[in-house]
Structure 1
Amino acid sequence: MPSLQRYSTFGLFASCNSIQPFSDVASFLHYYQQSSIVYILGGGSNSVFTQDFDGTVLVNEIKGISHFDTESHHYLRVGAGENWHDFVTLCMKEKWYGFENLALIPGSVGACPIQNIGAYGREVNALIDKVECVFLETGEQVLLSNKDCQFGYRDSVFKHALANKVLITHVNFKLPKHYELETSYGELASLSDPTPEKIYNKVIEIRKSKLPDPSELGNAGSFFKNPVVSTTVYQAIAQEYDAVPHFVVRENDERTNAGSKLEQIKIPAAWLIDQAGFKGKTLNKVRCHPTQPLVLTNLGGATGGDVITMAKDIIASVQEKFGIQLEPEVRILGSKGLISL
């Protein structure tokens, strides 16, 4: 059975029945229809194989980047198998701005709409125009609008109604040529005379200083989502803890009218995990990273059971201390496919 260790940045020892890369829809459908249990993989930065997988892993290697522009926008069509950071770097070189806050996020372009990736005050959904998909069972190719994707915080229709039903083949981006730079988040606020290039370089500097390189220390980036809670829950925590880091989140309330906004509070999961005493803590060969507790790392030779135990301990401790249920951001796999904690 072929090893999956190099196909997942967490680097656990796991294998599968077969690994099949594909670079076009026809090849994908051929492999998919021949297999009874399938998992589709991109860059492997968000998938953690905790057991040997009893099926076929299909690796998305659909490539290609095309561009045209109008007076007001840049339009890009990008293959789902393109590396995300390499794509962002190309955009910076070509002065196709907008992605600078999202530099150095691991993974593939095809994963970005699934997760609605975000960092330093930006989410990718603001720049996505359309997503091209193929239905797994029928082979029908469809074009989903931004609204069709039902984007939310680290969320999309690809995690719900279309979960395990479509393959993303291309992502189409629409970048406005005139927009406001986002520098309000964290250390970006200290930038003087910010430019897209300065933001891009600063984000890379920050991420390298806080986050371990998966090629040197196995990890899957942010293991948990930052929870979004009601103002009541936040206020209860703030009464007990001084200077709780938080960010106001406002979303349209469709139950009332389009102009109404629901206000909720995002609290960094890293802060909650730190307060629960896990920062730097090691369990067997899994460590909660000492400079960014949102990241779990494989110190070498970790097992899937080690990862699950550490994650469950963190979830239970944060729940007991703050009454907040952390949710994994990573996709955790068992022998038959995705599993929940």
Structure 2
Amino acid sequence: MIREFHHIDLRDRNSFGVAQRAERLVEFETPADLRELFADGIPERWTVLSGGNNILFTRDYDGMLLTPVARGIGIVSDDGERVRVRAEAGVEWDDLVEWSVERGLWGIENLSLIPGKAGAAPVQNIGAYGCEAGDSIERVEMYCVETGAMLTLDAAHCGFGYRESVFKHSLKGRVVITAVELLLHRTPRPKLGYGDVEREVEARGGATLRNIREAVCAIRRAKLPDPGVLGNAGSFFKNPVVGADTAARLLAEFPDMPHYPAPEGRVKLAAGWLIDRAGLKGHREGRVGVHERQALVLVNLGGATGGEVIAFARKVQEAVHARFGIAIDTEVNIL
């Protein structure tokens, strides 16, 4: 089923609460809906607006926004240990996590309470507390706009990296994700070595799926603002990944700097710590600010425009570079 809106206010469709408008917004359920939408050709400008949790509108959108609304979840196969689960693109990601935890399926519990839809998870390769969606995603179903065909892409070809995927690059503007398939497990596989997770899990009685989920939810609620109360898009900046020499230089000057091993001998730093040490945690300018409990998060204090948020973000980047000589990139999709 297709539902179409014209000149629609996007304030309630983006977690920053920015009041921009879209020329056209279409909610779709099935690949057949997409074939119908693209039957007369590909619009000059279009993109997918999923949950609106990782996007910042800086102007009105003069094209077509596509929003998936199908929310089915089902088991594809189960050999007693490995369970393949298919979720349609419109499923709320956290609903999928809860669904898995209820059924004793391990793999995505550390990704609890991340806002957004299942169809958006592979694009950004969402991650938290030592886990990424790409660790569990086995394949992605998608509609090819150019050919009208349904395609399936195995995880090995998705180009998953830190907040990276092929969907942000070579497939951007060419496909619409309609469903994801994940490989989950019945054997416990707790990952507790990141942040405060282990302490919070132990306080709840040990490493069960339910305890891990509740611990992660508690940590996130304590640190992150509710978009329904304070407009934000979660982590606005990526954690920078630097060479070993750069990390060693910084650690010599800042021995308490959080750091984590990254592929190819590189080192991942904590952007929130860098912003905090640059003196910006809780800093405000006009209608925009850095959240007082999590420096990775920029917040709309009320009525801010996307342009104001971007201008403020640039100042944060400049301050971090001036203090540490490190560039921090934005994680949010800017339109």
Quick check: TM above 0.5? yes
The CA deviation at 1:97 is 2.2
- 1:41-85 Cα offsets, whole Å, 9 max, x none, are 111101111111111211111321111311221111110111001
What is residue 155 of structure 1 aligned with on the other side? 164
Per the alignment, residue 22 of structure 1 pairs with 28
Q: Does 1:43 align with 2:48?
A: no
Are 1:211 and 2:208 matched, yes or no? no
Gaps of 5+ in 2: 1-6
The one of 132, 146, 153 aligned to 1:137:
146
1:102 and 2:111 matched: yes
Give the aligned residue type for 1:318. Answer: V
Whether 1:73 aligns to 2:82 is yes
Other-structure match for 2:17: 11
Alpha-carbon distance in 1 for matches of 2:299, 2:96: 26
Partner-residue secondary structure (3-state), 2:266: strand
Out of 90, 94, 113, the residue aligned to residue 85 of structure 1 is 94
Aligned match for 1:329, one of 312, 328, 331: 331
String of CA shifts for 1:186-219, please: whole Å, max 9, x gaps. 1112233321111100000000000001111111
Q: How far off its partner does 1:172 sit?
A: 0.4
Q: How does 1:167-178 map to 2 (within 5 A)?
A: 167-178=176-187
Provide Cα deviations, 1:107-132, integer angstroms capped at 9, x if missing partner: 00011111111111111111111111
- d(CA) in 2 for partners of 1:55 and 1:159? 19
Structure 1 position 2 matched with structure 2 position 11: no
CA displacement 1:118-162 (0-9 Å, x = unmatched):
111111111111111111121121111110101111111111111
* Aligned equivalents of 1:138, 1:283: Cα separation in 2: 47
Aligned residues: 322
Task: Compute the displacement of 1:310 (Å).
Answer: 0.7
Shift of 1:36: 2.6
Query: Aligned partners of 1:82, 1:139: CA distance in 2, in Å?
Result: 23
Correspondence list, 1:248-259, <5 A: 248-249=261-262, 251=263
- SS of the equivalent of 1:207 reads helix
Contact 2:48–2:65 at 8 Å: present in 1 too?
Answer: yes
Matched, 1:56 2:64: yes
Distance 2:30 2:114 in 1: 25
8 Å contact kept, 1:131–1:168: yes
Amino acid at match of 1:41: L
After TM superposition, give the deviation of residue 179 of structure 1 in Å.
4.7
Structure-2-length-normalised TM-score = 0.93
CA distance in 2, matches of 1:119, 1:210: 13
Which residue pairs with 2:308 in the alignment? 306
Aligned identity (percent) is: 40
RMSD (CA atoms): 1.3
TM-score normalised by structure 1 residue count: 0.91
Q: Contact (CA 8 Å) 1:128, 1:171: kept in 2 or not?
A: yes
The yes-or-no answer on 1:320 pairing with 2:322 is: yes
The residue number in structure 2 matching 1:278 is: 280
Counterpart mapping for 1:174-213 below 5 A: 174-190=183-199, 191-192=201-202, 193-213=206-226
Q: Is the 8 A contact 1:283 1:306 kept in 2?
A: no
Gaps of 5+ in 1: 252-261, 334-341
Query: For residues 30 and 47 of structure 1, what CA distance do their matches in structure 2 show?
Result: 26
Moved over 3 A (4+): 32-35
Determine if contact 1:28/1:58 at 8 Å carries over to the other structure.
Answer: no
- 1:186 is paired with a residue whose SS is coil
What's 1:336 paired with? none
Q: 1:304, 1:106 → 2: CA distance?
A: 20
